Amino acid sequence: MKKQVYLYYRFERFWHWAQAILILFLGFTGFEIHGSLDIFGFEAAVKWHNIAAWAFIVLIVFAIFWHLTTNAWKQYLPTAKNLKAQMEFYVTGIFRNTPHPTKKTILSKLNPLQRLVYLGLKVLVIPVMVVSGLFYMFYRYPQSGDIETINISGLENIALVHTLGAFLLVVFVIVHLYLITTGHTVTSNLKAMITGYEEIEEEDADEEAEEEVRKHDIPV
């Protein structure tokens, strides 16, 4: 039997949607700067891309603070348990109406594959994008020549890294859109990230809620 549980907190939902909007906007403006699109015009695209980049960095700072103060960072600790079963579920099992191999709970919202993907996104892809983007912004400023201390003599390598990261984010967005449809219903995951409430097994929900209260570790 399933029960409606408040699974995604207010900041969690705000962070999710703000991050999604900023990544998409950075993608559009970034690819226009790259010459792949023509929407704002090059100069305007650069301006808006930089503004969105700073907004994204501010969001990252607040997200890191929230994750540390609420212990939500533990959600991303990788585990091998059910990892193979989870991969098989996404590739073939879901099309055969196979039961989901991982139960979602208040204290464990992500399945093993999601943990790996999101951890890689947060500790590798996004930091690489931020650092390479900052190099783009401040290259040769205030220096008048090469950035000799870190052996950067041009933007070519930085551009390649930044563009590769952009394509990885595009792949992530596509995969994420697919994963949205893999809940109890096609729209259940989407609704949960809007309202905060999702249906999970009643027994698990009660046990997890008690654990949250016991630890006095309930983020808002």
Instruction: For residue range 85-126, list pLDDT tens digits in order.
Output: 998 888 888 888 888 888 888 888 899 999 999 999 999 999
DSSP-H helix ranges across the chain? 10-33, 42-70, 83-91, 112-120, 126-138, 156-180, 188-195, 202-215
Give the count of beta carbons closer than 10 Å to the beta carbon of residue 157.
12
pLDDT digits (tens, 9 = 90+) for 5-34: 899 999 999 999 999 999 999 999 999 988
Domain boundaries, the chain: 2-215
pLDDT band per the 50, 70, 90 thresholds, residue 139:
confident
Topology of the domain covering 2-215: Fumarate Reductase Cytochrome B subunit (1.20.950)
CA distances from 135 to 44, 74, 142 (A): 20, 31, 12
pLDDT, residue 146, reads: 55
Question: In this predicted model, which residue has the larger pLDDT, 93 or 147?
Answer: 93
Whole-model pTM: value is 0.81
For residues 146 and 128, which has the higher predicted lDDT (pLDDT)?
128
Find the angle CA(191)-CA(63)-CA(51) to the nearest 5 degrees.
95
| Among the listed residues 214, 193, 205, the one whose alpha carbon sits nearest the alpha carbon of residue 11 | 193
33-74 pLDDT, tens digit each: 888 888 899 999 999 999 999 999 999 999 999 999 999 999
Which pLDDT score is estimated for 135? 86
Please report the pLDDT score of residue 140 as a whole number: 60
Please report, rounded to a whole number, the percentage of residues in the chain having pLDDT higher than 70: 84
